Amino acid sequence: MASDFDLYRPSEEHEMLRDSVRALAEAKIAPYAAEVDEEARFPQEALDALVANDLHAVHVPEAYGGAGADALATVIVIEEVARVCGSSSLIPAVNKLGSLPVILSASEELKKRCLTPLAKGDAMFSYCLSEPDAGSDAGGMKTKAVRDGDSWVLNGVKRWITNAGVSDYYTVMAVTDPDKRTKGISAFVVEKDDEGVSFGAPEKKLGIKGSPTREVYLDNVRIPADRMIGAEGTGFATAMKTLDHTRITIAAQALGLAQGALDYAKGYVQERKQFGKPIGDFQGVQFMLADMAMKIEAARQLTYAAAARSERVSEGSDKEDLTFFGAAAKCYASDAAMEITTDAVQLLGGYGYTRDYPVERMMRDAKITQIYEGTNQVQRIVMARNLP
């Protein structure tokens, strides 16, 4: 297995991007992070700042007005936004998740229709795979699409849809041939304004409270046949191919949350004094910080290596071990983030347990990274089936 660390290390341009995103995030996003969490409201300030700086959907190809950024650049954007606000990092992350099926498999006409407004910042994209009875077993979905002349009519419910109600476009997986199980699932672009589309109440969540999570209801939603993504029956394959790439963005989100927690804890232990000296001088605290930093660096290297494989596959290379690396990066980085953010709370003691300090929010936000886009138990199944 070849090493990507020599092949795809961050370039000078990538590091310049990191510096600019970090500065933007600290100036325009961080000041609102606590308020967004407390009020469970969409981080409009973050969206405005990201759009103004063309950072809301950097993955969109240049042919459709996008930046055409590579996979590592997308990871860096998400990582740096998540470092200050987990909810806000889901803007670029879910824009990629929702639109990647279109990029991978849609007709040129459908790409132009959806990707151009996404690139301009005039629209957002969401991804509708999960259902009330189809989570880890996504192939067990019940949402149906029935052909009617030049249209498809969709009926069903999608659950746990990130940024639902805010996004304008929704990639929806639906059953078009019940007898073929996963090979009878097709993908469609549904628009927010299509008749019959509605949304449930926002879920009351532990974390990422600023990113609305709602059900999407499809009640006899009639859409033109040309809004099918790829050929009939290829939707599930497109969905799984998408997740190979986008699990890396969840790794990036987890990485950013972990880095933000470490950065804050590191500063705190130098200021907080007990027994006549900063608690950062005590070996027990130093060992905790060392372990946190070590795990973050391991997560970063694994995430960047996965991004390298994502980029090579996007450029036409064989799939290689992208499936393994995408699952490994997501699994390891999210487990590390949960541990590191919990340790950050511990380092702040009683203060860490209050909302006056950001680490308890980071800990709550980190938990979902172990769950969505495939639980970490499922990631281990994926890895076992795709060992390099």
Catalytic residue numbers read 373
> Token pair of 120, please?
């301009």
Q: Read out DSSP for 45-114?
A: HHHHHHHHTT-SSTTS-GGGTS----HHHHHHHHHHHHTT-HHHHHHHHHHHHHHHHHHHH--HHHHHHH
Query: 57 with 92: CB under 8 angstroms?
Result: yes
Indicate the SS3 state at residue 308. Answer: helix
Indicate the SS3 state at residue 4. Answer: coil
Within 10 Å of residue 247's Cβ, how many Cβ atoms?
30
Buried b (16+ CB within 10 A) or exposed e, 127-142: bbbbbeebbeebbebe
> Token pair of 36, please?
């967004």
Quote the crossing angle between the two packed helices 86-105 and 44-52, to the nearest 10°: 50
Query: 361 with 34: CB under 8 angstroms?
Result: yes
Residues 6 or more apart in contact with residue 142 via CB below 8 angstroms: 131, 133, 134, 156, 175
Q: Read out DSSP for 134-198?
A: BSS-GGG---EEEEETTEEEEEEEEEEEETTTT-SEEEEEEES-GGGGGGGEEEEEEETTSTTEE
Query: Hunting for tokens 């590091």 — which residue is that?
Result: 15
The closest of 38, 77, 72, 34 to 55, measured between CA atoms, is: 77
Length of the chain: 388
222: left (phi over 0), alpha (psi -120 to 50) or beta: beta
Backbone angles phi, psi at 211, to 5 degrees: -105, 110
Backbone angles phi, psi at 9, to 5 degrees: -75, 155
- Residue 320 CB-density burial (10 A; 0-12 exposed, 13-18 middle, 19+ buried): middle
